[in-house]
Each structure stands twice: as C-alpha cells, then as structure tokens.
C-alpha cells in the first residue's frame, strides 16, 4: 500500500474532511462528511439524530463510491470497518473508515486495519489461503495456480518469524515497518 489515501478531484472536499478527521478525530461537528453519507442512501439516513437511530448503509451502496469503486479490496475494506463484520456501516463506522484512510492517520493505526483487510477469514492470522486471495485480487487472477502457490509459500517463508506457518500481527507489522513506502 503505497498510500491508503482515496483522493480525486471530485472528492477534494471529502479529503479535507478526512484530513481534519484524521488529525483530530472528531468530525461529527462537521456536517459535510455527513452529507456524503446521506447522499449514499437518502431514504435511509436521517438528517436528524434526535432519536438516536440505528441506521446502517448497506455495503453495496458504499462500494459504489468513486473512491472505492476500482479498488480490488473494496469489500474487505468496508467489512473491516463495519461493526458486525457484514459490511453495513453506520455513520460512526463510515467516519472511522475515512479517518484511517486519510493521509494523516498514524502509521500504526493503518497497519492494524491493513492487517484486518488482508485477513479474509477473520481469524486474526494471515494464513496461506488469505494470501492466495490477496494475490488473486492484486493481479486479477492472471497468475497460474502454481505461481500463486509459490509466491504465497515464499511470502510466508520470508515474513513468518515464529514459524507457525501463518502471519500474526507482529510478523505483519515487522515486515511493513521495513517498507519505507508503506502508507506514505
């Protein structure tokens, strides 16, 4: 991940919000991010939170956002920020997602969520099947199965420090900390 930053011309404003969100953490006072959230599902999202509604925007609407649409990991990203793990985001989750994705989020936080994103079966380890799925998403399944197998084995060989055949968070973080380009 050279940069977990979702930016484009049309989302310049949104980025401002996520910048300030990432920097300070509380954007609830800024209604512009909420406007984006509201636009996703106008019928579902109320403008007034007086009754403390428990509304969640379904995953299908979120992954159609222009920042995420082309991203091969869009489902995993949304799933890792949703509370129940099914990808439906409440506003809090939505804000969390854009906080972490902004440029200002601290590196350790990004590493934690990156680990979650790559952990497809949510067992808190990146095992070989997770790696295979990651690689297939990265290369759009253009590698042959033998190549995929070889790559995954090599990755585990390189990054696994305690020798249990899968990558724990400590292994992942250790490897990521060596990459100067990660998230910058």
Q: Per CB under 8 A, which of residues 14..43 are in contact with other proteins?
A: 15-17, 19-20, 23-30
- Whichever of 60 and 138 has its CB closer to other proteins, that residue is 138
Q: Does 114 bind other proteins (CB under 8 A)?
A: yes
Q: What distance in Å separates the CA atoms of residue 54 and residue 152, rounded to the nearest whole number?
A: 41
Q: Does 123 bind other proteins (CB under 8 A)?
A: yes
Q: Which of 18, 50, 52 is nearest to 37 (CA)?
A: 18
- Whichever of 60 and 122 has its CB closer to other proteins, that residue is 122
Stretch in the footprint of other proteins (CB under 8 A) among 37-45, 55-63, 109-117: 109-117
The residues pairing with 126 across neighbouring beta strands, listed in sequence order, are 167
Give SS3 for 26.
Answer: coil
Q: What distance in Å separates the CA atoms of residue 73 and residue 175, rounded to the nearest whole number?
A: 20
Stretch in the footprint of other proteins (CB under 8 A) among 37-45, 54-62, 120-128: 120-128
Q: Does 55 bind other proteins (CB under 8 A)?
A: no
Please identify which residue in 57, 62, 78, 105 interacts with other proteins, judged by CB under 8 A: 105
Q: Does 182 bind other proteins (CB under 8 A)?
A: yes
Angle, CA of 108, 112 and 113, to the nearest 5°: 120
Q: What distance in Å separates the CA atoms of residue 136 and residue 78, rounded to the nearest whole number?
A: 19
The residues in 64-83 that bind other proteins, with binding defined as CB under 8 A, are 66-67, 69-72, 80
Q: Does 86 bind other proteins (CB under 8 A)?
A: no
Beta carbon of residue 141, minimum distance to other proteins (angstroms, whole number): 9
Q: Which two tokens stand for residue 159?
A: 């990054």
Q: If you ran DSSP here, which 8-state letter would residue 163 be given?
A: -
Q: What distance in Å separates the CA atoms of residue 62 and residue 85, rounded to the nearest whole number?
A: 14
């Amino acid at each position: 991940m050279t940069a977990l930053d979702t930016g484009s011309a049309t989302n310049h404003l949104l980025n401002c919000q996520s910048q300030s969100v990432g920097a300070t953490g509380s954007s609830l006072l800024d209604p512009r991010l909420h406007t984006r959230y509201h636009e996703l599902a106008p019928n579902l999202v109320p403008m007034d939170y007086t009754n403390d509604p428990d509304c969640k925007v379904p995953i299908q609407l979120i992954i159609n956002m222009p920042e995420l649409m082309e991203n091969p990991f869009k489902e995993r990203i949304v799933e890792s920020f949703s509370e129940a793990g099914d990808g439906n985001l409440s506003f809090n989750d939505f804000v969390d997602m854009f906080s972490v994705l902004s440029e200002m989020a601290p590196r350790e936080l990004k590493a934690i969520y990156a680990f979650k994103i790559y952990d497809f079966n949510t067992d808190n380890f990146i095992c070989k099947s997770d790696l295979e799925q990651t690689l297939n998403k990265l290369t759009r399944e253009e590698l042959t199965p033998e190549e995929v197998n070889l790559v995954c084995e090599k990755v585990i060989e390189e990054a696994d420090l305690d020798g249990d055949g899968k990558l724990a968070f400590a292994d992942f973080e250790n490897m990521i900390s060596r990459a100067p380009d990660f998230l910058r």
